[in-house]
């Protein structure tokens, strides 16, 4: 199933917390990318297909400023990013070398990239924030990527924050972080995610009205019947 504009609209109303719960019920426990936190508070929830990039540890003959002009470089990779994608970067959790700075982020904005998600860090923080590109990362650092990383490619399976991410997996990122929805589970999430949100909103209403949690969350048979009746 493809990620249509309607699917994006539906998922933009489903929290990452709900997504992890729905996928957990289907046996998927490892979908939340560790270390990928919103760089700016209040970033809207974003949804898009994953465009993957991968770094490996720095090797002195490869991780050099000259490598930035190589055909295999982050600069070249950005030119391959399609509009609306979410760039997901495997930086192996390295936090003392910034993978992207303000210039690269500015180019991503020009290409219509929806967001950057990484288990690493960015640099040129003030400039990155100034581009308006929504970023989920593990912080910021002054040194450039080649101080600690070697860029090796894009468009292949990666591990980001301990999670396997394949090209065109669906990424959802909000204030709780970034999660992956495997392509095979997209239809399920579209069917069950929105309903889970409705159900939990109803539960919150009951709690605010003074209801106790046993029998309400999770619902017993009587509560399920009351919830079903509320939808009619």
Distance CA 31, CA 179 (A): 5
Handedness of CA 138, 113, 169, 134 (dihedral sign): positive
Give all domains of the chain, ordered by start, each with its CATH number: 31-181 (3.50.30.40), 194-230 (no CATH)
Model pLDDT, residue 72: 87
CA distance 173 to 111: 19
pLDDT at position 69: 84
Q: Give residue 91's pLDDT.
A: 98
Q: Using 50 as the pLDDT threshold, list the residues of the chain that sit under it.
A: none
CB-CB contact of 141 with 101 (8 Å): no
Taking the whole predicted model, whether its pTM rises above 0.85 is answered as: yes
pLDDT at 64: 86
φ/ψ (deg, to 5) at 90:
-85, 105
**Residue 113 · residue 85 · CB < 8 Å:** yes
Residue 167 has what pLDDT?
Answer: 97
- Quick one: pLDDT at residue 186? 96
């Amino acid at each position: 199933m493809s990620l249509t504009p309607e699917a994006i609209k539906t998922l933009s109303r489903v929290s990452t917390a709900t997504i992890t719960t729905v996928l957990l019920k289907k046996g998927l426990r490892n979908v939340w990318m560790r270390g990928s936190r919103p760089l700016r508070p209040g970033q809207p929830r974003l949804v898009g297909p994953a465009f993957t990039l991968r770094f490996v540890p720095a090797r002195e003959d490869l991780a050099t400023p000259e490598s930035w002009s190589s055909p295999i470089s982050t600069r070249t990779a950005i030119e391959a990013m399609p509009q609306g994608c979410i760039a997901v970067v495997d930086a192996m959790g390295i936090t003392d070398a910034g993978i992207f700075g303000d210039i690269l982020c500015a180019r991503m904005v020009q290409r219509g990239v929806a967001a950057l998600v990484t288990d690493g860090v960015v640099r040129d923080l003030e400039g990155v924030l100034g581009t308006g590109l929504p970023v989920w990362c593990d912080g910021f650092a002054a040194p450039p990527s080649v101080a600690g990383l070697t860029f090796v490619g894009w468009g292949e399976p990666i591990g980001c924050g301990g999670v396997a991410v394949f090209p065109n997996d669906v990424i959802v990122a909000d204030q709780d972080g970034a999660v992956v929805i495997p392509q095979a589970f997209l239809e399920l999430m579209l069917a069950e995610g929105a309903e889970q949100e409705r159900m939990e909103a109803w539960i919150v209403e009951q709690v605010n009205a003074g209801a106790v949690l046993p029998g309400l969350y999770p619902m017993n048979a009587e509560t399920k019947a009351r919830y079903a009746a509320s939808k009619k």
